[in-house]
Amino acid sequence: MGTVPNRYREVADVRAVVQRVSQAAVHVGGETVGAIERGLLVFLGVARTDTLADVQYLARKIVDLRIFEDADGKMNLSLRDVRGAMLVVSQFTLLGDCRKGRRPSFVAAAPPDKAETLYRCFIDEIEQFDIPVASGRFQEHMHVALVNDGPVTLLLDSTKLF
């Protein structure tokens, strides 16, 4: 796989955009390949330097995020607490580096074989928490439809940069 140049190390981490949704679906070629009702839509980007530990950390973090409202209207409940579902969509563009020029560089993104393995490991980790999981199709052109509840959208990464 080679090494990642130092200038890209700071952006090399599993990244996720997490959206609280009342419903979400992903379509490939007009076919619905994954859909959920109340829960979380997670766009997942895997970096060259990522490991299983990064994926496991992020899975636990997301499942236990207290971002659903309790009876008092406070964000105090997790996905497990509300018995929600998760839709996971692979998105290598989360590793795009736009700091130089006008065209994003994706050199920090994991190659497809590694990215797909860790993407599937992330889904397996979520399922171990007894969370219903739907997913997109890896390396396919997808259309994602969602109703963001709140809206609530969070950025997470395995190296805790944000």
Active site residues: 91-93
Q: How many helices (H) and strands (E) does the chain have?
A: 3, 8
Burial status of residue 3 (CB atoms within 10 A of its CB: 0-12, 13-18, 19 or more) = exposed
DSSP state of 92: G
DSSP state of 39: E
Helix (H, G, I), strand (E, B) or coil at 107: coil
* CB-based burial, 103-114: b 16+ in 10 Å, e otherwise: eebebbbbeeeb
Which residues, other chains included, contact 122 with Cβ-Cβ below 8 Å and sequence gap of 6+?
Answer: 14, 44, 55, 58, 59, 88
